[in-house]
Structure 1
């Protein structure tokens, strides 16, 4: 879930209904990818943005720019963790960086079609991670907390701090600037992420290192 506006008026499914819905989506996504050649298995069309799950994905240009930034900055044989950023994950796989390994931590179980790259992730239980995700084992972590709230950012930050060896790139609302600095020590960047849908909230990128695609404010 790349970006989500916190809206209490949106109907909520029961946990049982949501699990059934996600299982259905996973089956559909698997069927959609079975006929593809291996090099096309991770195309953006394999799993599509779902507004019913409050998903708002980055524009193709933003996803491409961020994916290139991640590959450039993680170093040779680097490891990248994508926390709630499925469209970035898909773009990374599309770029086919042979020496880069990528992991997607995501609540939406449809992404289980990506096999071992996928890890089910619920920000409400930020350290409930498989043993394969060792502490400080990722050269770069990119995250987009699913809600614009202090609680969500603080919980997601626990995951980020656990996974990150050094570099962190956060994409979230401009209103979260002070919290991003306080909780994670991140500075706002000039690069402004865009989405496929028009959102009411302004979004920005924050990092703890100089981005190759721009400079920090």
Structure 2
């Protein structure tokens, strides 16, 4: 049976959209539903729209440039997100998330720096001003070093499948979960 998101939304090459496979989406949904209470989904609509936990979905926000997604959710659950402008993220959303899930349309360090800026705006902070929250990200293996530098994340054993993309991606996270080693 096809994932409802995959059945409903076609990839848009003009936006560099490439959807994960159904098993990869399920892997990410399971991690999100186990570790997040309020999640910022940055350029990861396939994961947001595949959440089964209704409360988590209503507490989370889909950040994406493609306004087609805004028509499928309550206004407070979608933000038109241009990764080039992280400072456009509204004050009301800043520091309110305990997890971010990220899959940029481009894989350069410059793009990842802009996503890192967004992460720093979105994640909650502790009493010392340090970021606290979980990060789950997707990019190529060659980005491993700077992913550690920018977001303090490490590669997972689980390898995502993105059927219409020629590159092999890896997942990276800053938290532990037994499923990560599958």
What is the TM-score with the length of structure 2 in the denominator?
A: 0.85
Equivalent residue runs for 1:188-207 within 5 Å: 188-197=155-164, 199-207=165-173
Size of the aligned set, in residue pairs, is: 168
* Deviation of 1:196 (Å): 3.0
Equivalent residue runs for 1:130-169 within 5 Å: 130-135=90-95, 137-165=96-124, 166-169=133-136
Q: Calculate the aligned-residue CA RMSD, in Å.
A: 1.9
Equivalent residue runs for 1:118-133 within 5 Å: 118-133=78-93
Aligned equivalents of 1:99 and 1:60: distance in 2? 20
Equivalent residue runs for 1:170-185 within 5 Å: 170-185=137-152
Structure 1 regions of 5+ residues with no counterpart? Answer: 1-41
**1:67-97 Cα shifts (integer Å, max 9, x gaps):** 11111012xxx101100001111111xx134
Partner of 1:108: 66
Equivalent residue runs for 1:76-87 within 5 Å: 78-87=37-46
Secondary structure class of the residue paired with 1:141: strand
Structure 2 regions of 5+ residues with no counterpart? Answer: 125-132
Kindly indicate whether residue 14 of structure 2 is the aligned counterpart of residue 47 of structure 1: no
Segments of 4+ in structure 1 off by > 3 A?
none
What is the TM-score with the length of structure 1 in the denominator?
A: 0.72
User: Highest CA radius of gyration, 1 or 2?
Assistant: 1
**1:12-67 Cα shifts (integer Å, max 9, x gaps):** xxxxxxxxxxxxxxxxxxxxxxxxxxxxxx94144332223221010011011101
Partner of 1:68: 30
Kindly indicate whether residue 58 of structure 2 is the aligned counterpart of residue 96 of structure 1: no
Aligned equivalents of 1:188 and 1:83: distance in 2? 19
